[in-house]
Structure 1
Amino acid sequence: MVSSLVGQFVCFVFLVVVSISRVRAKQTVFDVTKNGGVADGKTDNSKAFTDAWTQACQTIGGGVILFPTGKYLVRPVILKGECKGPIGLQIEGTLLAPQGVQSSVDIDHWIKFQHVDNLNINGGGLLDGQGPSAWHHNNCLEDPECMRLPANLRFDFVTNLNIDHITSINSKNLHINFFACKDVKVTNVNISAPAESPNTDGIHIGSSSNVQILDSVIATGDDCISFSAGSSKITVSGVHCGPGHGMSIGSLGRGNNNDVSFVDIRNCSFVGTDNGVRIKTWAPSKQGTVSHVYVENIRMEQVKNPIVIDQNYCPARRCSATESSQIQIVDVKMINIWGTSSTPNAVTLKCSETKPCQNIQLRDINLSYKGPEGPAVSACSKVDVITDGKQNPPACTKPVIQVPHNFDVLN
């Protein structure tokens, strides 16, 4: 009898402890409309947003900032950690950036997160950067002193980040920018801007590691995804890209850290893009390395340049025709890439004169072109190519198109 009562008491205590743990684990929700937010598309909700963030961040056990359905104008904000628990941003409505350029001050963000750990952004909502009102200010190719336009979402020194079921449209500049972030997972995002919109990269990754981008649609006026200096252990899978410039490693060579490694791109599609998968470095450049790049199971549909290594990248002035890139590209595998090219340039491997590409593997490439300039071609310069399986076009056959005089074509 006594033992039975003791057992029942122990069980009761256990259930109470579990119940308390569950209550504590449930995060408090901070509705911006309860902090003065107004969903009329006109009222500035930046203070309501930052107030809700401060409350959630300082809540032991964590908190969630909620934007219910409706339209919320939000001026540029910076949301900082460290927080006292996991923190969430649940966007169910539409966030609107201010129209035009707000001031003469160079600002790199619309919504920026800094030094936050364990952040979740979801809710199925929309971020509208209202880019058409500012794109005409983007003249950086002509003016080196140009003013940067803001990214829709910027993350600096953020760890354990999850972004799921969010739509970003018409950013004034980049849509999502990761700098010095770690352990990031992006799933089911939809990013879009017109093909002619300038510098509207979908996702830009720099100095970050352990980043996953999965099952998303990106259609912009620049790179769908760009991997810049300091990026490592990046996985991309199930991403549809187009329109845009494709997925690019680089450009590299202008900064002090020019290393990119362990980039894994699989099961993706490119439709109507300027490039497919591209590695680009400046010439001349500082030293660096691109290594362990794995690209597999990629569908190309009417892509201008499906496979590209360009170590003489020079979209503007201040380049040299006589100096070489000092970026070493090594251990790149392209496997099972098929579809159509909209130009004869299906495979272009244009490597550095002083740092030739090493161990570039092409396996089961099937890219066709039908047009007045003849079949698809491969062109190579200063590269060690290893081929296996089907090669269409034949690896490094003589192109029928005009190439630069210093571009060696290997038969």
Structure 2
Amino acid sequence: MFSFVFVVNVEAQAAVFDVVRYGAVADGKTDNTKAFSEAWNQACQTRGSTMVLIPKGTYLLNPIIFEGPCKGRTGFSIQGTLKASTDKQYFGLGYWINFRYVNDLAIDGRGSLDGQGPSAWPYNSCSKASSCRVLPTSLKLDFITNSIVNGITLIDSKQVQINLFACQGLKISNVKIQAPADSPNTDGIHMGKSIDIEIFNSEISTGDDCISLSPGSRNINVHNVLCGPGHGISVGSLGKGPDEDDVEALAVRNSTFVGTENGVRVKTWATNYPSNVRNLTYDQIHMVNVRNPIIIDQKYCLTGNCKQGSSSSQVQIRDVKFRNIWGDSTSEVAVDLECSQSRPCQGIELNNIDLVYNKGPARSYCSNAGGVALGRQTPPSCL
């Protein structure tokens, strides 16, 4: 047995690979990429249950890829603080910590990922140009299946905090995500082409969407989430390019939004590319000082990112249920349903809505929206 390998058995009979035994130094200055990589490779290629352990302390870590497939259930236990590099040579990679092609992965612990975002935020130009530089995501999960992320804290990502691509059967729970309200594009959890995802018992404070769903998101279950500050929970943006996969079967329940720009939102670009959004349910949602508590925006556009002359989205939205939503709006229009002229929204349900404007009577606005209003309606329904 080589001197750098450290394996012990714990109660769960998992072999533990301590990064310190592979040369990691918890001084916040030493690059530990090699030690982490060696610990992961050894754990991943060991049969049975294994765990990479990051003990307490602060570990500097340059961009790294942890790749499978692995030979058994693989844990990644973060008890210390991982600190991202501020070297600008890494800003264009698009990831900091990237797990790929792993089944039965468990990322957990009471530690944190510090993305050191303030070093990169001044270089974010995405609000001005569609060809902006993609800054690193703190935790990028690609093709991860039947896995969990539990208990960790993410702080100040350079861009998106957690990004899911082509994942299936993933549970994210008891995570804390923290970034200032003015930090650019720091979505809490963003996903695309992912199915059977559950997010629960978590707190997300960020400068963009707390949770965002892009094309191909299906069977997404969100519950007991505290969102704020941020831009709310958003489906979209959709319809920007051809051949986008549909978004369907989202449920957001028993959650609270505090001081967010939006509450529950669906947004599609004002372009001519068709796709579908269907079967969304929002139930038992508390809004506290939210600017746009309920919003469908099919004319979404950022400076420099829209086709000239485009005015009517080709994304079809149907079967969206807003149930038992209450609290206060910081804008007069508490319910704003601005649907496409060419493809009007179908099957919208407003059921027991109680939203008040903090400066006077609230109102609702509907355009090209078809559906039904049930139960209490404050403001009066426009359907």
TM-score class, shorter-chain normalisation, is over 0.9
Confirm or deny: 8 A CA contact 1:283 1:320 kept in the other structure: no
Alignment of 1:336 with 2:321, yes or no, is: no
Of the candidates 271, 288, 291, which is equivalent to residue 301 of structure 1? 288
Higher-helix-fraction structure: 1
Amino acid at match of 1:270: F
Quote how far apart the aligned CAs of 1:179 are.
0.2
Residue 102 (structure 2) aligns with = 116
Amino acid at match of 2:84: A
Quote how far apart the aligned CAs of 1:257 are.
1.7
Residue 43 (structure 1) aligns with = 30
2: CA distance between counterparts of 1:231 and 1:75?
30
Quote how far apart the aligned CAs of 1:286 are.
1.1
Quote how far apart the aligned CAs of 1:345 are.
1.6
2: CA distance between counterparts of 1:347 and 1:32?
51
Residue 263 (structure 1) aligns with = 250
- Residue aligned with 1:117, SS: coil
Residue 383 (structure 1) aligns with = 369
TM-score by length of 2: 0.95
Alignment of 1:228 with 2:214, yes or no, is: yes
Deviations 1:229-248 (A, max 9, x none): 00000000000000000000
Unaligned segments of structure 1, at least 5 residues: 1-21, 397-409
Quote how far apart the aligned CAs of 1:338 are.
0.2
Alignment of 1:57 with 2:57, yes or no, is: no
1: CA distance between counterparts of 2:205 and 2:258?
9
Amino acid at match of 2:322: M
Residue 266 (structure 2) aligns with = 279
- Residue aligned with 2:43, SS: helix
- Residue aligned with 1:389, SS: strand
Confirm or deny: 8 A CA contact 1:284 1:320 kept in the other structure: no
Over the residues paired in the alignment, what is the CA RMSD in angstroms? 1.5
- Residue aligned with 1:149, SS: coil
Alignment of 1:356 with 2:344, yes or no, is: yes
Quote how far apart the aligned CAs of 1:321 are.
4.9
Alignment of 1:327 with 2:348, yes or no, is: no
Flag the 1:322–1:257 CA change in 2: closer, same or farther, 3 A.
closer
Amino acid at match of 1:297: Q
Residue 90 (structure 1) aligns with = 77
- Residue aligned with 2:40, SS: helix
Confirm or deny: 8 A CA contact 1:351 1:383 kept in the other structure: yes
Confirm or deny: 8 A CA contact 1:100 1:134 kept in the other structure: no
- Residue aligned with 1:348, SS: strand
Residue 204 (structure 1) aligns with = 190
Quote how far apart the aligned CAs of 1:268 are.
0.2
2: CA distance between counterparts of 1:124 and 1:75?
21
Alignment of 1:181 with 2:167, yes or no, is: yes
Residue 151 (structure 1) aligns with = 137
1: CA distance between counterparts of 2:37 and 2:146?
21
Residue 129 (structure 1) aligns with = 115
Confirm or deny: 8 A CA contact 2:349 2:371 kept in the other structure: yes
- Residue aligned with 2:89, SS: coil
TM-score by length of 1: 0.88
Of the candidates 291, 294, 298, which is equivalent to residue 278 of structure 2? 291
Of the candidates 328, 342, 354, which is equivalent to residue 366 of structure 1? 354
Quote how far apart the aligned CAs of 1:25 are.
6.5
Flag the 1:23–1:314 CA change in 2: closer, same or farther, 3 A.
closer
Flag the 1:335–1:320 CA change in 2: closer, same or farther, 3 A.
farther
Quote how far apart the aligned CAs of 1:100 are.
4.6
Residue 240 (structure 2) aligns with = 254
Residue 299 (structure 2) aligns with = 312
- Aligned-pair identity in percent equals 51
Matches within 5 A, 1:238-249: 238-249=224-235
Deviations 1:389-411 (A, max 9, x none): 00000012xxxxxxxxxxxxx7x
Deviations 1:59-115 (A, max 9, x none): 0113111000000000000111011001010000000000152347x3110000111
- Residue aligned with 1:52, SS: helix
Confirm or deny: 8 A CA contact 1:241 1:273 kept in the other structure: yes
Quote how far apart the aligned CAs of 1:370 are.
2.4
Residue 69 (structure 1) aligns with = 56
Of the candidates 150, 154, 157, which is equivalent to residue 168 of structure 1? 154
2: CA distance between counterparts of 1:145 and 1:103?
18
2: CA distance between counterparts of 1:237 and 1:320?
39
Alignment of 1:78 with 2:65, yes or no, is: yes
1: CA distance between counterparts of 2:15 and 2:104?
15
Deviations 1:135-168 (A, max 9, x none): 0000122233322100000011110110110000
- Residue aligned with 2:37, SS: helix
Amino acid at match of 1:331: D
Quote how far apart the aligned CAs of 1:320 are.
4.2
1: CA distance between counterparts of 2:145 and 2:179?
28
Amino acid at match of 2:287: M
Quote how far apart the aligned CAs of 1:27 are.
1.4
- Residue aligned with 1:61, SS: coil
Confirm or deny: 8 A CA contact 2:54 2:80 kept in the other structure: yes
Flag the 1:29–1:173 CA change in 2: closer, same or farther, 3 A.
same
Residue 6 (structure 2) aligns with = none
Flag the 1:338–1:100 CA change in 2: closer, same or farther, 3 A.
farther
